[in-house]
Amino acid sequence: MDRMDLLSALVDKGLRREPPTRAEALAVLATSDDDLLEVVAAAGRVRRAWFGRRVKLNYLVNLKSGLCPEDCSYCSQRLGSKAEILTYTWLKPDAAVAAANAGVAGGARRVCLVASGRGPTDRDVERVCETVSALRAEHGTAVEVCACLGLLSDGQAERLRAAGANAYNHNLNTSQAAYADICTTHDFTDRAETVRRARAGGLSPCSGLIAGMGESDEDLVDVAFALRELEVDSVPVNFLIPFDGTPLAGRWELTPQRALRILAMVRFVCQDAEVRIAGGRELHLRTLQPLALHIANSLFLGDYLTSEGQSGRADLAMIADAGFEVEGGTVPAGPPEPDADADAGGGEPAGAAVPVAVRRRGAGTTLPPNA
């Protein structure tokens, strides 16, 4: 099948929500840089059919940072991590709500409450429920609340739902075949089971992947199809942030073009899911970030869990400049601050390593958050 036949078949299927074949998904990843704009345009047709020109903004609040007993090799919070990240235990509900409110004021319509660890105790769930209830009381239904606390035990999803949580995030990260290469303390089936528990407990399942960890095209396609099979509502696509002090330090295997092809493949497989440009976009998409908005319909505003993103104002300006609109937004888009692009990785040649800025502001610090 030639490239134009491939893309028109993928668009037709995308509009009908008919799954592509595995071969078609692999073929998207194998397209050349010469074909990049055609791939983006085709994925853009599917994106616009389901989501118009809307961009959903999500805001991360790291409730508990570092000191995790698990050994996920990509994670700056893992057992034995030497990454010089902020480490702190549970934020008090008022501090968590204050951090979340900064994101909401910046335009976010979903707040993601995240804690490091293998999974929450029932006491931890109660603690998070206090924050969820406080956010629900303050914002009603104008803001969605997602929890991301690790592997769930029986009844925990239901308790979060009863407190007012809308969604639960637990990423599959990579294929079942490659999972043992990135973690030995839990496995792929543990993660998939938590996604199922979240759905069964009444929470909207959010689950995604990380690209750039040494996986093959087959692994990326397998994890995308696994996410489709789990019927997840939102799919964060992360690009590895190779923190110094972790086993994957120094791994820079993505180009901006490949990052776009990966997003397009995910869009063609999970056609009507919220595809979210997640961690690492500034480092890997760099100056091609606006093109990714034609494929994905969602991103994280501001900072990540343990690293800093470009400024929230630069995010809003990028969305407006690219001709998209913030979902539910009343936030006026203005020009970015003069130094807003300084931390976006702009201007670096493709494939170059750019420094990872460890987060030093927002939750767990006395400095204001980036939103």
Which parts of this chain interact with ligand SF4 (CB under 6 A)? 68, 70, 72, 75, 77-78, 116, 118, 150
For residue 64, the minimal CB distance to ligand SF4 (Å) is: 9
The H or E element spanning position 190 is helix 188-200
Beta strands in 116-233 (DSSP E): 144-148, 167-169, 204-206, 209-211
Identity of the residue, 77 or 255, whose beta carbon is nearer to ligand SF4 in the bound complex: 77
Is 183 annotated in a binding site? The answer is no
Residue 65 CB, shortest distance to ligand SF4, in Å, is 9
Q: Smallest distance, Å, CB 74 to ligand SF4?
A: 7
Nearer to ligand SF4, 67 or 354 (CB): 67
Give the DSSP H/E element, type plus range, for residue 328.
none
Alpha-carbon distance of 238 to 199, in angstroms, equals 22
C-beta of 80 vs 140, nearer to ligand SF4: 80
**DSSP three-state, residue 307:** strand
Query: 1-32 burial, b for 16+ CB within 10 Å, e for fewer?
Result: eebeebbebbbebbeeeebbeeebbbbbbebe
* Residue 174 CB, nearest approach to ligand SF4 (Å): 12
Residue whose CB is less far from ligand SF4, 256 or 364: 364
Q: Are 85 and 76 in contact (CB under 8 A)?
A: yes
By beta-carbon proximity to ligand SF4, the closer residue of 7 and 85 is 85
CB of 339 to ligand SF4, least distance (A): 31
When the beta carbons of 47 and 191 are compared against ligand SF4, the nearer one is 191
Nearest of 76, 2, 29, 3 to residue 358 by alpha carbon:
76
Kindly state the smallest distance separating residue 182's Cβ from ligand SF4, in Å. 9
Residue of 98, 105, 43, 97 whose CA lies nearest to 326: 105
Distance CA 290, CA 282 (A): 11
270 is in an annotated binding site: no
Q: Which two tokens stand for residue 3?
A: 């490239």
Q: Give whole-number Cα distances, 224 to 114, 153, 264, 356, in Å.
A: 23, 25, 11, 27
Which residue ranges are tagged as binding site? Answer: 68, 72, 75, 112, 146, 206, 276
Which residue ranges are tagged as binding site for [4Fe-4S] cluster? Answer: 68, 72, 75
Which residue ranges are tagged as binding site for [2Fe-2S] cluster? Answer: 112, 146, 206, 276
